[in-house]
């Protein structure tokens, strides 16, 4: 009899199991690559490409360049609470994507060929918190847009607005808030525009056209407010502003890039990038720019910089391993620093792009003196299928 009970129990379990398995939700689940599907890559044939250095005009070039497929206004910075010195890192980026080159005038104001994507990220090192948000909008009505003069780029109530200064050394005001995180910052450039690469043409691979037009404001004195974890902090610090537009920057054999924007305590700023190759992951095309305290620019050749990553961190959300500490040397300049993230997890796992963009601190030697500083590192293209 006992044996029968077991059989019955087993039978009931089988039935219940089948019922549970059968009644699973038929509705499709959210697919985070939806908007990627919509925007797609498409063909780039009609878009302009960066073949040669351009003639630069400011303030016009602060504004949009819709004949190129992609463009960004990229702010990163390290801020410290005025009273306690508590560290915050922030990233605010507005991406512009062109869906088509032809911009026909249409009777409906909703008609558009341009889309903005916005990223806002805040690193609260004390709390160990990293929060990031993403927005999309068509560039239409006043939903989103970009204007060179008077300078203004926006997506909904996220906006970066010019507040004066010389065209090549402007001041701006940033406002962005989302779900309990907010930044309200006023930014004053203390060094003028730096044209990256060859007079602003940043070649990403030997193939012509695989390049971008690229300039930076490497040092902006930043003051204002940060809201995080339900508290409001008065902060001050330094920001870095990058502007880049292109149609195609990666070559077939390239996997991604590492980008370093470092602001040293002795007034020097440094931008270094490494384009990683798919075929040989340890093979790079690299370059960079060194800016002295007065704003004088030195372009760094491919072999002038040595970067070695010494540790790695695996993202718990995506499982992707990222390098997480670097040793950077410019032997000719006697620069030798160690770069450490303020927080290991500063990964933006987002719809269109997945990247690690994090606040870092720097210590080491520059010339004969020890030096410290802060900066931002961007790691793009990790975890892609080879």
Partner 1 sequence: MTHMTTPLLLRASVRYFLGHPWMTFLAIVGIALGVAVVTAVDLANQGAMQAMRLSVAALSGKTTHRLIGPPGGLDEAIFGPLRWLEGVEQAAPIVDGQVLWPTQPEQKLHVLGVDLLADAPLRPHWVNHAAGIDLKTLITTPGAVLLAKETANHLGLRANDTLTVLAQGKSRQLTVIGLLDDADPLIRQGLRDTLVVDVATAQELLDFYGHLTRIDIRLREGAALPRIPDNYRWVAMEHRSQTLESLTQSFRLNLSVLSMMALMVGMFIIFNTITFSVVRRRHLIGLLRAQGITRAELLRQLLLDGCLLGIPGTLLGLLLGIALGKGLLILVVRTINDLYFGLEVTGMPLDPLALLKGGLLGLGASLVATWPAAWEAVAIAPSSALTRSSLENATAQGVIRVGRWGVGMMGVGMLVVALPGNHLLAGFIALGFFTCGAAMIVPLLMVALVRMLQPGMRRYGGWMGTLALGSVPRHLSRTGIAVAALTVAVATVVGMGLLVDSFRLTVERWLEETLSSDIYVSTGETSTGAGVDVGILDAQLIATLSHIPGVASVGLGRRVGLDTREGMINLFVLDVDWSRFADRWFLAGNAKDSWPQFQHGDAILISESLAFRRNLTVGSKLALPTPTGEHHLTIGGIYADFRADTGSVTISRNTFANYWRDNAMATMGIRVQPGADIDDVLERLKQAAGPQNTLDFQSNRGLKEASLQIFDRTFAVTRVLRLVSVVVAFFGIWTALMAIQLERTRELAVFRALGMTTDELFRMSLLETGIMGGIAGLLAMPMGWGLGWVLIHVINYRSFGWSLHMDTRAAIVLQTLLIAIPTAIAAGTLPARKMARTPPLEALRENL
The contact set with partner 1 (CB under 8 A) reads: 15, 18-19, 22-23, 26-31, 34-35, 37-40, 42, 99-100, 102, 104, 106-113, 115, 135-138, 140-143, 156-158, 178-179
195: left (phi over 0), alpha (psi -120 to 50) or beta: beta
For partner 1, the closer CB: 176 or 359: 176
Shortest Cβ 251–partner 1 spacing (Å): 24
Show the beta-strand stretches assigned E in 139-264: 144-147, 152-155, 158-166, 169-178, 181-189, 194-195, 201-203, 211-228, 231-246, 254-264
For partner 1, the closer CB: 26 or 85: 26
> Residue 51 — φ and ψ, nearest 5°?
-100, -35
Shortest Cβ 6–partner 1 spacing (Å): 20
Shortest Cβ 106–partner 1 spacing (Å): 6
For partner 1, the closer CB: 54 or 138: 138
Shortest Cβ 26–partner 1 spacing (Å): 7
CA–CA dist 340, 330 (Å, integer): 18
Shortest Cβ 86–partner 1 spacing (Å): 25
CA–CA dist 325, 338 (Å, integer): 7
For partner 1, the closer CB: 107 or 230: 107
34: left (phi over 0), alpha (psi -120 to 50) or beta: alpha
Element (H, E) at 81: strand 70-81
For partner 1, the closer CB: 40 or 367: 40
For partner 1, the closer CB: 31 or 198: 31
Shortest Cβ 226–partner 1 spacing (Å): 18
For partner 1, the closer CB: 247 or 346: 247
364: left (phi over 0), alpha (psi -120 to 50) or beta: left
For partner 1, the closer CB: 147 or 371: 147
Q: Quick one: which of 155, 134, 133 has its CA closest to 64?
A: 155
For partner 1, the closer CB: 28 or 230: 28
CA–CA dist 88, 74 (Å, integer): 17
Shortest Cβ 377–partner 1 spacing (Å): 29
Residue located via tokens 């009505």: 141
Classify residue 364 as exposed, middle or buried by CB count within 10 Å of its CB (0-12, 13-18, 19+).
Answer: middle
For partner 1, the closer CB: 46 or 60: 46
Classify residue 9 as exposed, middle or buried by CB count within 10 Å of its CB (0-12, 13-18, 19+).
Answer: exposed
Shortest Cβ 132–partner 1 spacing (Å): 16
Q: How far is CA 55 from CA 30, 50, 195, in A?
A: 45, 12, 11
Asked whether the beta carbons of 218 and 256 are under 8 A apart, the reply is no
Shortest Cβ 233–partner 1 spacing (Å): 20
Shortest Cβ 44–partner 1 spacing (Å): 12
Tell me if residue 170 falls in helix, strand or coil. strand
Asked whether the beta carbons of 204 and 285 are under 8 A apart, the reply is yes
């Amino acid at each position: 009899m006992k044996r029968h009970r077991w059989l019955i129990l087993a039978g009931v379990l089988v039935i219940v199991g089948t019922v549970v398995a059968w009644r699973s939700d038929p509705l499709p689940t959210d697919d985070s690559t939806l908007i990627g599907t919509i925007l797609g890559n498409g063909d780039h044939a009609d878009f302009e490409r960066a073949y040669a250095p351009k003639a630069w005009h400011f303030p016009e070039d602060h504004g949009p360049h819709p004949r190129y497929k992609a463009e960004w206004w990229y702010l990163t910075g390290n801020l410290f609470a005025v009273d306690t010195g508590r560290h915050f890192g922030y990233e605010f980026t507005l991406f512009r994507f062109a869906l088509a080159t032809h911009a026909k005038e249409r009777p409906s104001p909703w008609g558009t060929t341009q889309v903005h994507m916005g990223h806002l990220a805040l690193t609260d090192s004390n709390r160990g918190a990293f929060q990031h948000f993403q927005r999309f909008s068509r560039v239409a009505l006043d939903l989103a847009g970009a204007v060179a003069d008077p300078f203004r780029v926006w997506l909904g109530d996220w906006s970066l607005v010019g507040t004066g200064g010389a065209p090549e050394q402007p001041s701006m005001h940033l406002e962005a808030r989302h779900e309990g995180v907010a930044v309200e910052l006023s930014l004053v450039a203390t060094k003028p525009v730096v044209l990256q690469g060859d007079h602003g043409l940043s070649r990403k691979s030997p193939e012509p056209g695989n390049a971008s037009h690229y300039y930076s404001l490497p040092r902006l004195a930043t003051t204002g407010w940060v809201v995080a974890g339900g508290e409001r902090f008065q902060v001050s610090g330094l920001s870095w502003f990058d502007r880049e537009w292109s149609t195609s920057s990666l070559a077939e054999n390239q996997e991604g890039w590492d980008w370093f924007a470092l602001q040293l305590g002795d007034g020097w700023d440094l931008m270094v990038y490494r384009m990683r190759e798919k075929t040989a992951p340890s093979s790079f095309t690299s370059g960079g720019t060194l800016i002295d305290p007065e704003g004088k620019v030195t372009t760094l050749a491919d072999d002038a910089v040595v970067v070695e990553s010494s540790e790695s961190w695996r993202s718990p959300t995506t499982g992707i391993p990222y390098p997480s500490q670097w040793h950077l040397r410019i032997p000719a300049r006697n620069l030798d620093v160690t770069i450490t993230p303020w927080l290991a997890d500063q990964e933006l796992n987002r719809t269109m792009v997945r990247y690690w963009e994090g606040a870092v601190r720097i210590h080491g030697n520059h010339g004969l003196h020890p030096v410290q500083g802060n900066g931002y590192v961007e790691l793009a293209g990790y975890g892609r299928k080879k």
